[in-house]
Amino acid sequence: MSSYLSETEKEYLQEKRTQAELFDKQIAIKNSALVGEPKEYKGVEYSMNQRGLYECINVDSSSPLYGVFTSTSILHSIIDKLEARGKLAHNVKSKNA
């Protein structure tokens, strides 16, 4: 048994799908927003997102600090290791950039 959808119903369903996708994207953006005041460690600014993960602010996407971290102690440890290797400064954008 096959079902038939009129063009109007197809358009209606497509519009609902588009609205649902837009709503999902808006929720994802809101959920990834940073909360609270940014903190700084050795010149690297970071803040917590709404999921409780830490994100560095003003870092290049090629930086090892780009992404999320589960705790500040892990983030601080990575920053310390990068600083010891001399790789920290070129990955952090200036605040005026």
Sheet of 68-69, strand order:
34-41, 44-49, 54-57, 68-69
Task: Kindly report the pTM of this predicted structure.
Answer: 0.63
* pLDDT at site 3: 76
Extract the residue ranges of the chain whose pLDDT is less than 50: 1, 94-97
Per-residue pLDDT of 43-68, as tens digits, reads 999 999 888 999 999 888 888 999 99
What pLDDT was estimated at residue 93? 57
Which pLDDT does position 97 carry in this prediction?
Answer: 42
pLDDT of residue 60: 86
